[in-house]
């Protein structure tokens, strides 16, 4: 997907703007605005991850850690030290960037998917730290009392206000990422995905680009974590466990690795599944996720974003059969 048309983005933005109004009209989906806040928060992570996985061809199974770093830095610094929430967000993103560079640089220089294993181990280590450093994080019980967000006296204290705040950031990240994909950087990333030796023969600094994308995705995940902490006012480690990292993977695989639209679709679907539609399954939702992931990997390698192409090909074959 070389060109990303402007029209769909405009339509999507319009949909996001009117959605809370629609949800208010229909009682059955009255709580959907609240869920959409989480969709937005997770979209921030998956937009970055889709750039990493779909365009740079690297798997991370540890992004829950960066999400958690953002959430805990925001949570601890605002709730315990009373610091400015926006400043904490920037601190969180900076820390995430530095950590990502430290973890990513050595493993991304290696061939293959060492990043998958390094991030997996890293994610679990960070999860253990959240659990063990009780003095700061509150341990497994979590920490509460994280203040909401406000700017110049304007409080983001209702679901709808927070919705517009989060989605404003999502759209900004989306447009920025789309611009990256369409720039020379995007071409370099696709070249890396297609063939690393070829890309490097063409003068692309492969490991530098991969590290950059990894850091970018970590920064977005940290930002999402800060929004999460300020929205719920409470965090505990189980939000940031290995399974969340896998869930992010499912969102992206379901939507389609090579499409940033796919990432958003997948995030929306999986979030609604876990917050609303799969509540009856309770603990066993994990089986549903596993089946979805396997189904997509085996039958829809391009995810939902690849469905139109499959349908088109199917029609074409049918038409040519009839002739």
Partner 1 sequence: MEKITLASQLLQYLITGLTVGSVYAMVAVGFNIIYNVTEIINFAQGEFVMLGGLIMVFLHVAMGLPLILAFPATIVLVTVIGILIDRLAIRHIRHPSVFTLIIATIAVSIIIKGMASFIWGKDPFDLPAFSGRNPINILGAVIQPQYFWVIGFLVIAAIALSIFFDRTIIGKAMSACADNADAASLVGINVKQMVLLSFALSAAIGAVAGITITPISLMEYDRGAMLAVKGFGAAVLGGLGSFPGAILGGLIIGSIESFGAGLIHSGYKDAFALIVLLIILFFKPSGLLGSTEISRIKRF
Q: What is the nearest approach in angstroms of partner 1 to the Cβ of residue 283?
A: 6
- Residue 56 and residue 59: Cα distance in Å, rounded? 9
Q: Does 141 bind partner 1 (CB under 8 A)?
A: no
Question: How many Å apart are CA 64 and CA 241, to the nearest integer?
Answer: 6
Specify the stretch interacting with partner 1 by CB under 8 A; choose among 22-30, 32-40, 86-94, 278-286: 278-286
Taken in order 163, 83, 142, 148, is the CA torsion positive or negative? Answer: negative
Q: Which of 83, 97, 121, 278 binds partner 1 (CB under 8 A)?
A: 121
Q: How far is the CB of 154 from partner 1 (least distance, A)?
A: 42
Helix ranges, the chain (H): 6-25, 32-50, 63-81, 85-109, 114-132, 134-137, 159-182, 184-194, 196-201, 206-232, 242-255, 260-272, 285-299, 307-322
Position 286 contacts partner 1 (CB under 8 A): yes
Q: Decide: is 180 part of the binding site for partner 1 (CB under 8 A).
A: no
Interface stretch with partner 1, choices 12-20, 111-119, 147-155, 177-185 (CB under 8 A): 111-119
Q: How are beta strands 234-235 and 143-144 bridged, if at all?
A: antiparallel
- Could you identify the residue written with the tokens 């998917």? 113
For position 57 contacting partner 1 by CB under 8 A, the verdict is yes
Bridge partners of 235, per DSSP, are 143
120 is a contact residue toward partner 1 (CB under 8 A): yes
Instruction: Give yes or no for residue 118 binding partner 1 (CB under 8 A).
Output: yes
Q: For residue 322, give both structure tokens.
A: 């009839």
287 lies in the binding site for partner 1 (CB under 8 A): yes
Total residues binding partner 1 (CB under 8 A):
40
Min dist. Cβ of residue 11 to partner 1 (A): 31
Helix or strand holding residue 228 (H, E) = helix 206-232
Encoded one letter per residue, x for contact with partner 1 by CB under 8 A and - for no contact, window 292-321 reads -xx--xx--x--------------------
Q: Binding segment for partner 1 among 29-37, 151-159, 246-254, 307-315 (CB under 8 A)?
A: 246-254
Cα dihedral sign for 185, 190, 195, 198? negative
Q: What is the DSSP string of 143-162?
A: EE-----EETTEE--SHHHH
Residue owning tokens 């997948």: 266
Q: Using the rule CB under 8 A, which residue among 35, 41, 61, 146 binds partner 1?
A: 61
Q: How far is the CB of 193 from partner 1 (least distance, A)?
A: 10
Binding site for partner 1 (CB under 8 A): 57, 59, 61, 103, 106-107, 110-114, 116-118, 120-122, 124-125, 128-129, 131-132, 242-243, 246, 249, 253, 283-284, 286-287, 289-291, 293-294, 297-298, 301
């Amino acid at each position: 997907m070389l060109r990303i048309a402007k029209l769909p983005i405009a339509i999507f933005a319009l949909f996001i703007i009117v959605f809370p109004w629609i949800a208010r009209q229909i009682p059955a989906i009255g709580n959907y605005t609240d869920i959409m806040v989480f969709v937005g928060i997770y979209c921030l992570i998956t937009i970055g991850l889709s750039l990493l996985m779909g365009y740079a061809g690297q798997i991370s199974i540890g992004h829950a850690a960066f999400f958690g770093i953002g959430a805990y830095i925001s949570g601890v610094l605002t709730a315990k030290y009373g610091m400015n929430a926006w400043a904490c967000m920037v601190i969180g993103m900076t820390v995430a960037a530095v950590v990502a560079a430290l973890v990513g640089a050595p493993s991304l220089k290696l061939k293959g998917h060492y990043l998958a294993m390094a991030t997996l181990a890293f994610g679990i280590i960070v999860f253990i730290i959240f659990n063990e450093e009780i003095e700061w994080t509150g341990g497994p019980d979590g920490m509460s009392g994280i203040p909401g967000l406000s700017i110049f006296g304007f409080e983001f204290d209702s679901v709808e206000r927070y919705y517009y705040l989060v989605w404003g950031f999502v759209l900004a990240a989306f447009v920025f990422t789309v611009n990256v994909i369409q720039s020379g950087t995007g071409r370099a990333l696709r070249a890396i995905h297609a063939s690393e030796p070829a890309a490097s023969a063409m003068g692309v600094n492969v490991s530098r680009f991969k590290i950059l994308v990894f850091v970018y995705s970590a920064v977005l995940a940290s930002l999402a974590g800060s929004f999460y902490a300020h929205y719920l006012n409470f965090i505990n480690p189980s939000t940031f466990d290995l399974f969340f990292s896998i869930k992010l993977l499912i969102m992206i695989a379901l939507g389609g690795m090579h499409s940033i639209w796919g990432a958003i679709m997948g995030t929306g679907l999986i979030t609604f599944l876990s917050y609303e539609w799969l509540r009856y399954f309770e603990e066993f939702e994990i089986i549903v996720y596993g089946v979805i992931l396997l189904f997509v990997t085996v039958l829809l390698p391009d995810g939902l974003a690849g469905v139109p192409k499959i349908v088109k090909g199917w029609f074409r074959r049918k038409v040519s059969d009839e002739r």
